[in-house]
Structure 1
Amino acid sequence: MKTTIKTLFALTLGMALFSCDNSDDPQPVLPLEATLVEDLAAPNDVIDRQTGTILEERPFVYFSLEQNAQVSEAEDWDLAFKGTTIRVNAAKNVSAAIVTGIFDQINEVPASASFATDTDSELAIPTGGGNGWYNYNPQANTITPIPGRVILVKTSAGNYSKMEILSYYKGNPPMAEVDPFTTPSAHYTFRYVIQPNGTQNF
């Protein structure tokens, strides 16, 4: 009986070692997971609402999708935020496209996606209500992400990412609870998926 146990163990161990050494075995493909970024604070300039004069100019907040971290302007950032403006790092060949679709159902970069980078006269991610990622309600004076708008980004490392902005207000509150005079704005909550192998599949 003991001999049988040893034989079975040796056979099992041999099969395990053979399996490990077999380079032809397909490697499991793990599904990509979305990263959630909450309350990335990127306040706009302080502006006199009566005259439009900038009273205090504030810096952009730089973010690396590759590192999932706020970084300095001197580093390899992908996106820069200030107020409702989102810039891409043209110096590092970062580009972006806006597509319409359900975030979880966009499994690859659509062939129709038109990527662009920032220029002196135009941003890859347009600003203004209804032009890019948000709507502006002049009656309520609120900013709301447009449902179904997904931002695709080709990062500084050449990888593709899909991104959905979920909220412009601190704490991601329901819009019915947003008071434009007291609820801190320009606090981005968004989720994104990045494909690290350079392909266009998510």
Structure 2
Amino acid sequence: MKYRNRTYLRMFFYTMMLSIGFAACSKSETKDLKEDGTSTVIYDLPGDTTASLGDDTNGKEQRPFYTILFSFKTQQVRWVKTAADSASYLKNLDWDIAFSKEYNSYVVVNNGAIAGTPGYGGPGLGKILIIEKPYDQVLEAPSGDQFENQGIAGVGWDSGNGYGWFFYSLDNHICVPIKNRTFVLKTATGKYAKLELLNVYKGNPPVVTDLFWPAPYFTFRYFVQEDGSRDLKTQ
């Protein structure tokens, strides 16, 4: 399975990010709390906010976006900026998901067998299945055969194919996370987990109408079944 090599968002996200550094963060920022006592909730994980794809960078660097690695177990974050970073961080089991590509909007698992992904050549066993149910209603992971036959490497912009975690409007250039879509994963070590990607905007606002709201800042929650079973109940 090839890693999706899309160039989506190149022009569209650029418009969104031109003046992002000037946005005020006090505009009725509210967090949609997702604490259930079992899941881990991460608020405002910063993406690579210093990069830009366009010529008019407003103080940012015009360069590819650094890949950001995240461990479900430790919540450790590592940035891959150099070849030395790649050699040290990518081909091991210390991370489960990476925020990659334009504006870190493509979320990819750690899998050593999928060519083109950050973990390719390493020991990672990650795969993703998309479940069209609310997070709390996903009670059990699909079978291992389903992961083997239908599992994908990552999710990003849903342009109508049903494979993403957010919609993107060509009219207002706002990203809208898809509600009631849950991602069931195999982690880097092969354990079952579920993931809900909640927001790309700082403060996890319930609705964004401001083109210049600070982004990317990722809010998400997840649960890993440590006993190796497929049980994903969190309530």
What is the TM-score normalised by the length of structure 1? 0.70
SS of the equivalent of 1:164 reads strand
Query: Is the CA contact (8 Å cut-off) linking 1:97 and 1:125 kept in structure 2?
Result: no
CA distance in 1, matches of 2:139, 2:55: 43
Give the drift of 1:184: 1.1
The list of structure 1 runs, each at least 4 consecutive aligned residues, that deviate by more than 2 angstroms after superposition, is 71-75, 110-118, 124-131
Aligned to 2:192: 160
CA distance in 2, matches of 1:139, 1:113: 37
Q: How does 1:9-158 map to 2 (within 5 A)?
A: 33-43=38-48, 45-48=51-54, 55-71=62-78, 73-74=89-90, 76-82=94-100, 83=103, 84-91=105-112, 92-111=124-143, 114=147, 115-118=150-153, 124-130=154-160, 131-158=163-190
Identity of aligned residues (%): 28
CA distance in 1, matches of 2:176, 2:55: 21
Query: Is the CA contact (8 Å cut-off) linking 2:52 and 2:64 kept in structure 1?
Result: yes
Show structure 1 runs of 5+ residues with no match: 1-30, 119-123
Assess, with a 3 A threshold, how the Cα gap between structure 1 residues 127 and 173 changes in structure 2: closer, same or farther: closer
Q: Deviations over 1:115-170 (max 9, x none)?
A: 5353xxxxx32544343111111112111111111111111122111011111101
Q: Deviations over 1:18-67 (max 9, x none)?
A: xxxxxxxxxxxxx97011001111237511279xxx92122111001122
SS of the equivalent of 1:161 reads strand
CA distance in 2, matches of 1:46, 1:98: 30
Show structure 2 runs of 5+ residues with no match: 1-35, 80-88, 113-123
What is the TM-score normalised by the length of structure 2? 0.61
What value does the CA root-mean-square deviation take over the aligned residues? 2.6
Opposite residue 131 of structure 2, the aligned amino acid is V
Assess, with a 3 A threshold, how the Cα gap between structure 1 residues 96 and 59 changes in structure 2: closer, same or farther: same
Query: Is the CA contact (8 Å cut-off) linking 1:32 and 1:195 kept in structure 2?
Result: no
Structure (1/2) with the larger strand percentage:
1
CA distance in 1, matches of 2:199, 2:156: 17
Would you say 1:199 and 2:229 are equivalent positions?
yes
Would you say 1:180 and 2:211 are equivalent positions?
yes
- For CA contacts below 8 A with separation 6 or more, give which structure has more relative contact order: 2
Assess, with a 3 A threshold, how the Cα gap between structure 1 residues 140 and 49 changes in structure 2: closer, same or farther: farther
